[in-house]
Amino acid sequence: MPKLNQSFYIRQDVVQISKELLGTYLYSKINGVITGGMIVETEAYAGVEDKASHAYGGRFTERTKTMYKIGGTAYVYLCYGIHALFNVVTNDLNVPHAILIRGIKPTVGIETILKRRQKSKLTNDLCIGPGKVSQALGITTNHTGISLLGNEIWLEHREIETSDKISISKRIGIDYAGEDANLPYRFVLNI
DNA sequence: TAGGTGATCTTG
DNA sequence: AAGATCACCTAT
């Protein structure tokens, strides 16, 4: 299957792209081992005007500078001291749009994923939750800034059958964002 | 439902 | 230089 190419990522509408990422596949290749699965949950973070975004108001720091890179870059940061959260940067250089990958359905390298997650059985929620996604695929903050067009972390295109299975809701864990906390920027694929 | 966890950011 | 904050997870 073809990798998502740069022109997919370099588009204006991060909310639309977030929806389109449902049903695509996310892979990592760590120490020669490929793990991955189908993306089933995403959230859009819409740049400098979005109060929930790390880049709100144009904030540009050592951490957030990666969000200003060109579409098709990985933005990974540490949350609550424990969890690496993986995001896809979109849009042009210096436009800090990002999409948080909140859940996948694992399909490749299940053995490795179970080992990384310290679980013995494949359950429906094994990789549901952004911290779990990174743990399952071996993604760490060291991966922040790398290209998603390379051979370490990448996405592949699939057509999903219908949009009827998509649920839209407000984003999780951003109560600090005022009225923007209610924006319908979370997308879940009901499989 | 609450506590663990530590890098990051803001304030002083 | 220090304290508050935080795009979460696990277990009770």
pLDDT digits (tens, 9 = 90+) for A161-184: 767 799 999 999 999 999 999 999
| Cβ-based contacts (< 7 Å) between A 56-75 and strand B | 59, 61-64
Position A14 pLDDT exceeds 80: yes
CA separation for the pair A56, A22 (Å, rounded): 25
Q: What is the mean pLDDT of residues A126-132?
A: 98
pLDDT at A150 (0 to 100)? 97
Q: Is the C-beta of residue A78 closer than 7 Å to nucleic acid chain B? A: yes
Contacts of A98 (CB under 8 A, 6+ apart): A14, A45, A53, A55, A67, A75, A87, A88, A89, A90
Position A1 pLDDT exceeds 90: no
- How many Å from the CA of A172 to C1' of B6? 22
pLDDT at A159 (0 to 100)? 76
CA distances from A50 to A14, A67, A96, A132, A181 (A): 12, 13, 10, 25, 9
Q: What is the mean pLDDT of residues A93-102?
A: 98
Mean pLDDT of chain A: 96
The angle formed by the CA atoms of residues A103, A52 and A149, to the nearest 5 degrees, is 50
CA distances from A67 to A72, A75, A101, A115 (A): 10, 6, 15, 31
The DSSP H or E segment spanning A153 is: strand A153-156
The DSSP H or E segment spanning A137 is: helix A130-137
CB-contacts to strand C (7 A):
A 43, 45, 52-55, 67, 75, 79-83, 85, 87, 98, 100, 117, 129-133, 171-174, 176
In our burial notation (b when 16+ CB lie closer than 10 A, e otherwise), range A67-87 reads bbbbbbbbbbbeeeeebbbbb
pLDDT digits (tens, 9 = 90+) for A53-89: 999 999 999 999 999 999 999 999 999 999 999 999 9
- How many Å from the CA of A102 to C1' of C12? 25
Q: Is the C-beta of residue A80 closer than 7 Å to nucleic acid chain B? A: yes
pLDDT at A6 (0 to 100)? 97
Q: Nearest nucleotide (C1') to the CA of residue A78?
A: B7
Where do we find the tokens 């957030």?
A: A64
Q: What is the mean pLDDT of residues A4-26?
A: 97
Length of chain A (residues): 191
CA separation for the pair A149, A117 (Å, rounded): 26
- Listed in order, strand segments (DSSP E) in A2-96 are 25-30, 33-46, 73-79, 83-90
pLDDT digits (tens, 9 = 90+) for A144-165: 999 999 999 999 998 777 677 9
Q: Nearest nucleotide (C1') to the CA of residue A67?
A: C7
Q: For A6, how many CA atoms within 13 A lie in the half-sphere containing its CB?
A: 7
- How many Å from the CA of A78 to C1' of B6? 9
